[in-house]
Structure 1
Amino acid sequence: MNTSFGATAELLHGITISTRPSEQNPYLAKPLFSQPISKRLQLSLSAEREDRTGRTKRISAISCSKSEGVKGLTYKDAGVDIDAGSELVRRIAKMAPGIGGFGGLFPLGDSYLVAGTDGVGTKLKLAFETGIHETIGIDLVAMSVNDIVTSGAKPLFFLDYFATSHLDVDLAEKVIKGIIDGCKQSDCVLLGGETAEMPDFYANGEYDLSGFAVGIVKKDSVINGENIVAGDVLIGLPSSGVHSNGFSLVRRVLAQSGLSLRDQLPRSNGKPVTLGEALMAPTVLYVKQVLDIISKGGVKGISHITGGGFTDNIPRVFPQGLGATIYKDSWEVPAIFKWIQEAGGIEDTEMRRTFNMGIGMVLVVSPEASARILGEGNGRNSVYCIGEVVSGEGVTYQ
């Protein structure tokens, strides 16, 4: 690691790493919990919770329900205004035309460089509370490379920014190790980054993260949605859970429900998992799967389902005058989303505009391509036909 100190005690980590192909993300298409969630969340979990003496106590049942007449929680209640963010993008687009896609395209000869930047939001708060720092770097890489692959771009390299009040070298190493792992899974290189130590700016033990990815795609191979027509098919790729959006609302639900991140929930394989571990499942890296599907033809548009959920993200790739119909029962919504909805009394429309609901990436493909893709999808590469393109605008559900 190369380090240099300036007046603000900032450190530069300039690490270049060779990458190799790795296994698909092990979290892909695995349901978080096997037991259904009842309308009043009567969860006989035999969960364990630590008391002040460090011992554990069992709770045989937890009941979390919305009181009659009480308005359900919304993302805006939790402090995040999606409409305000959309309005800012519209204003920026007036000053810098071309802004607003999942990735920014820069012409370079017969290709485009495609760039994206993102963070992991308030999922960091759960990392601080659970002590799980090894996978948050995977989330960071995923949020950027999943954006740029929507243009058909292969990620080339990644840069990160790690900022903290006082540098804990062991903790920072865990985070950066996750970033390296995310880069390997995406076949790109961690080219470097910045580690900023800023006393009194962050709370002790906390840090902030952001990342930047650059990829490349031939101009005649770019995926931009311009050829999408009514009748095209929506293919959904499963998520690992909440991914890295909506955690301000998740944290508000946790506060309202009275549940602890240490409470244990059953998994599909019978092995218990804590609520914190379930929520911290890293974002799926879709790069290899998506590029493989693209290479076989028929893909016209791709939406990364992040903030804004289905409602805002799917229409971003459509030409004017087209919308989407989503088949609500075409995939199994992971139980973690059912828990969030019922514990917070959240309306369906709010859930669909905040969370990925179990589908982290949506491909718009021709009917012919859909038959091939669905026929090839199985195991870790599971795919679902979740809807179709229709005349009109917006997203409807049936």
Structure 2
Amino acid sequence: MSDNYKKSGVDIHKGYEVVEWIKKIVAQKFDTKLSNNIGSFGCIFDLSSLNYQKPVLVSGTDGVGTKLLLAIEANQHKTIGIDLVAMCVNDILTLGAKPLYFLDYIAVEKINLEIITDIITGIVDGCIQSNCTLLGGETAEMKDMYIKNHYDLAGFITGVVEKDKLIDYKKNVKENNKIIAINSSGIHSNGYSLVRKIFFKDHNYNYDHKFEELETNLITELLKPTKIYVDIISELQNQNFKINAMANITGGGFIENIPRVIPNGLSAKINKTKIKSQNIFKLMQRLGNISEDEMYNVFNMGVGFIIIADNEEAKKIANFINGFKDYKANIIGEIINNSKTKIELIND
């Protein structure tokens, strides 16, 4: 075969190596009775064996944003795939869906088998944490599109829920419902343009800088993978707790995400004194001289996921979460009548 394509920047043989390696790891890690499609034109998933009566499919897609730049510049790629899965999976959980399968898209300047292996290993880890399969994907080598050694990631998740168990916040959320916060693992994967500005543009810290406030060096803290909430949400569903609504605290922080599950005429009243923010958020606010309002509009502030439930049920849910693995939860607010704003942050 002619080397002209390779000279133009595309090494198809390395692409074949990537596909073969992914086939092997998928066969080792996932149930191929439900799916076995790596390398095919299309991806097949057998839904019939799962015994749903009226299944509704729920899909989502996302990326990792400029957190990728930190992984690339620090040459640490092993957990960025977890972030990719988490960003997609946590969104569909809010509708009551259980993840079924994940697809990835990896676009690179040049295929580096070691880096691709690290990325895929993280994606596989994220899928295992999410109890879903890696169904397929695409790896594209585009030398003219990307800076040397750079890459981009995108993910796509599909989950399933029984039609009568879809979580409909418009019907469920009522006045006096309580708002439960579940802890995040850190910054997760949002706000990294500001994160990078604070630490590396405005202050020029090294990646291995150690702050007294942090338990690890800076880059380890910043690359902590996004927490995946599948295990705790699935367990709450299995225990038949009544959940009125859920919100993933993703891009836009509290200010943009909680209102997405608040019906018209109601508002989420959040008591900020009840929120247990990790030190990384306090550090960024101090170094960046950022207002508290902006912090809550950019970052998760230590809360990765929100559940809204009736008063007594909320107490039971919070107690259950606090007894499950390393999760921490507490009630941080309530739903009130208010047609002027969907969210109100107070210090009380």
Task: Report the TM-score range of the alignment, normalised by the length of the smaller protein.
Answer: 0.7 to 0.9
What does residue 211 of structure 2 align with?
Answer: 265
Shift of 1:132: 1.5
- 2:162 and 2:312 map into 1 onto residues whose CA distance is 24
What does residue 23 of structure 1 align with?
Answer: none
Residues 208-254 of structure 1 deviation map (CA, whole Å, 9 limit, x = unaligned): 00000000000100112021001001111100111000000111111
Shift of 1:171: 0.6
Single out whichever of 296-305 and 118-127 deviates more from structure 2: 296-305
Q: Does 1:182 align with 2:126?
A: yes
Bigger relative contact order, structure 1 or 2 (CA pairs below 8 A, ≥6 apart): 1
Single out whichever of 109-118 and 280-289 deviates more from structure 2: 109-118
Q: Does 1:244 align with 2:189?
A: yes
Select 1:218's aligned residue among 137, 162, 173.
Answer: 162
Q: How does 1:359-374 map to 2 (within 5 A)?
A: 359-374=303-318
Q: Does 1:394 align with 2:342?
A: yes
Structure 1, unaligned runs of 5 or more: 21-107
What does residue 234 of structure 1 align with?
Answer: 179
Partners of 2:251 and 2:298 within 8 A in 1: yes
What does residue 306 of structure 1 align with?
Answer: 250
Partners of 1:19 and 1:187 within 8 A in 2: no
Q: Does 1:282 align with 2:225?
A: yes
Partners of 1:266 and 1:273 within 8 A in 2: no
- 1:315 and 1:307 map into 2 onto residues whose CA distance is 13
- 1:160 and 1:267 map into 2 onto residues whose CA distance is 36
- 1:263 and 1:223 map into 2 onto residues whose CA distance is 44
Residues 28-58 of structure 1 deviation map (CA, whole Å, 9 limit, x = unaligned): xxxxxxxxxxxxxxxxxxxxxxxxxxxxxxx
RMSD of equivalent CA atoms: 2.1
Q: Does 1:358 align with 2:306?
A: no
Percent identity of paired positions between Structure 1 and Structure 2: 40
Partners of 1:239 and 1:359 within 8 A in 2: yes
Residues 155-210 of structure 1 deviation map (CA, whole Å, 9 limit, x = unaligned): 00000000011111111100000000000011000011100000121111111000
Partners of 1:233 and 1:367 within 8 A in 2: yes
- 1:276 and 1:257 map into 2 onto residues whose CA distance is 14
Shift of 1:346: 0.7
- 2:133 and 2:213 map into 1 onto residues whose CA distance is 34
Query: Which amino acid in structure 2 is aligned with residue 220 of structure 1?
Result: D
SS of the residue aligned with 1:264? coil
What does residue 162 of structure 1 align with?
Answer: 106
- 2:335 and 2:294 map into 1 onto residues whose CA distance is 22
Partners of 1:243 and 1:284 within 8 A in 2: yes
Query: Which amino acid in structure 1 is aligned with residue 344 of structure 2?
Result: T
Partners of 2:104 and 2:137 within 8 A in 1: yes
Structure (1/2) with the larger helix percentage? 2
Residues 311-334 of structure 1 deviation map (CA, whole Å, 9 limit, x = unaligned): 110010121111111111113211
Shift of 1:394: 2.1
What does residue 57 of structure 2 align with?
Answer: 113
Q: How does 1:1-398 map to 2 (within 5 A)?
A: 9=10, 11=15, 13=19, 15=23, 16-17=26-27, 18-19=29-30, 110-226=54-170, 227-254=172-199, 255-266=201-212, 272-295=215-238, 296-376=240-320, 377-378=322-323, 380-392=326-338, 393-398=341-346
Partners of 1:325 and 1:388 within 8 A in 2: yes
TM-score using structure 2 length: 0.83
Partners of 1:323 and 1:390 within 8 A in 2: yes
Residues 260-319 of structure 1 deviation map (CA, whole Å, 9 limit, x = unaligned): 221023577xxx521110010000000111121233222011100011111110010121
Partners of 2:198 and 2:284 within 8 A in 1: yes
- 1:318 and 1:19 map into 2 onto residues whose CA distance is 37
Residues 117-141 of structure 1 deviation map (CA, whole Å, 9 limit, x = unaligned): 0000000011012221100000000
SS of the residue aligned with 2:244? strand
- 1:266 and 1:152 map into 2 onto residues whose CA distance is 40
Shift of 1:367: 1.0
SS of the residue aligned with 1:124? helix
SS of the residue aligned with 2:169? coil
Partners of 2:213 and 2:279 within 8 A in 1: no
- 1:228 and 1:19 map into 2 onto residues whose CA distance is 37
- 1:126 and 1:236 map into 2 onto residues whose CA distance is 28
Query: Which amino acid in structure 1 is aligned with residue 252 of structure 2?
Result: G
Residues 6-41 of structure 1 deviation map (CA, whole Å, 9 limit, x = unaligned): 999474746444449xxxxxxxxxxxxxxxxxxxxx
SS of the residue aligned with 1:276? helix
Residues 83-132 of structure 1 deviation map (CA, whole Å, 9 limit, x = unaligned): xxxxxxxxxxxxxxxxxxxxxxxxx9712100000000000011012221
